[in-house]
Amino acid sequence: MKDKKRPAGETYNLTKLKLLSDDAQTTRRKQTRELEPHEDWKPEKAKRFRQAEQERIKEIRIRFIIDQIWDRMKLEAGFGRKHAIVYSFGRDEFEPNHKMPHGHMFEICSDAWLKGTAKRVYLHCSDKNLKPTIERWSSGPEAPGTYGFNIVVHWT
């Protein structure tokens, strides 16, 4: 295949290409070093940096979930349903105010127990008057102990 930008018979200047490539690698290394913790960073500063990055990622995830709610509702309404599952979560996103005996599963989850992403999604749905409920799901008898909860919105 012919190179349309290079006239026939003309060759590439390999030395110039190598310099450009080296330049790009040096720039990339500098950018990477700016993001990585340096030797002069104190452990507290590095910890705050990681926490800030985790919070930023969490916010992006929450925004992504919330932005999908209306599309999910439209899709489910297209099938004639009057509800849509907008978020599923497991045991790590709720904290009950009482402990269950070991091996027992929660049959219910109160909105007051929610934390993290589940709490933010539930509050958003509640603020938008989407009538959110929390419903339990289970994988069934073939995988006992595998369960979680869904945030479901309802409309009429």
Show me where the domains of the chain are located. 43-154
- This prediction has a pTM of 0.62
pLDDT at 30: 65
pLDDT along the chain (156 residues), means of 10: 54 58 66 58 78 89 93 95 93 69 59 88 95 86 75 93
Distance of CA 55 to the CA centre of its chain: 11
* Structure tokens that stand for 23 in this block: 């330049």
pLDDT at 120: 94
Whole-number Cα distances in Å, 81 to 84, 133, 148, 150: 8, 16, 22, 16
- Rounded to 5 degrees, φ, ψ at 125 are -65, -40
Q: Which residues contact 114 (CB under 8 A, 6 or more apart)?
A: 93, 94, 122, 134
Angle at which helices 116-127 and 43-78 pack, to 10 degrees? 50
Burial of 32 (0-12, 13-18, 19+ CB in 10 A): exposed
pLDDT at 44: 78
pLDDT at 12: 52
